[in-house]
Amino acid sequence: MIVLASKSPRRREILAQAGLAFEIRVADVEERLRPGEAADAYVSRLSREKAEAVDAGAEEFVLAADTIVVVDSLVLEKPASEEDAIRMLALLSARSHYVLTGVCVRRGAARWSAVERTEVVFSPLSPDEILDYAHSGEPMDKAGAYAIQGRASRFVEGIRGCYFNVMGLPLSRVYRLLKDAGYNFAAG
């Protein structure tokens, strides 16, 4: 059995569309970047902490992830307010940025983990476009203040890497980690 250590509706949707059976167990983990911590180390640490924070039996596969957006060297997590979302969207306008997702699979005491990186290019956004999108409410629980599968899809000129990573769960990477951990996909 896969245990998804996440309350993210997008992660649930991705796993369900892939035909994977799972149950949800969410643990409370503080998501705070440590001084001097690199972005990839940050998402790797958080995914590991989330995987370790939920109770699971020895034969269960705990799956945890954490996603951030990085532009230049600035880490963009979920916006704290609509004003914060506007600030983030203005930073992303007419630029490329990276979406990083740390993924951890835990089975008993063993861990398998990876960080997926996808480049996303945004078109130029006018102040009115930014305000309209921010007012929609969609950016509020999304890393980098946007949902590629939602209204922000119209801003995306291109991506290099995994589309599902930008949604919050790099499915191909998850598949490989679960395989490495011994998950039997045929038994589901």
125/116 Cα distance (integer angstroms): 27
Give mean pLDDT, residues 170-178.
97
Over the chain, what is the mean pLDDT? Answer: 95
Predicted local confidence at residue 180, as pLDDT: 97
Where residue 115 falls among pLDDT bands split at 50, 70, 90? Answer: very high
142/130 Cα distance (integer angstroms): 15
Catalytic residues: 66
Predicted local confidence at residue 186, as pLDDT: 83
16-50 tens-digit pLDDT? 999 999 999 997 899 999 999 999 999 999 999 99
Task: List Cβ neighbours of 17 (8 Å cut-off, separation of 6 or more).
Answer: none
Q: Does 96 score more than 90 pLDDT? A: yes
Please report which helix (H) or strand (E) contains residue 48, including its range: helix 39-53
SS3 119: strand
- The fraction of the chain above a pLDDT of 90, given in percent, is 94
What residue segments make up the domains of the chain, in order of their start? Answer: 2-180
Q: Does 187 score more than 80 pLDDT? A: no
Structure tokens, 20:
């994977």
62-89 tens-digit pLDDT? 999 999 999 998 999 999 999 999 999 9
Considering the domain 2-180, what is its CATH architecture? Alpha-Beta Complex (3.90)
Q: Does 188 score more than 70 pLDDT? A: no
Q: Does 178 score more than 80 pLDDT? A: yes
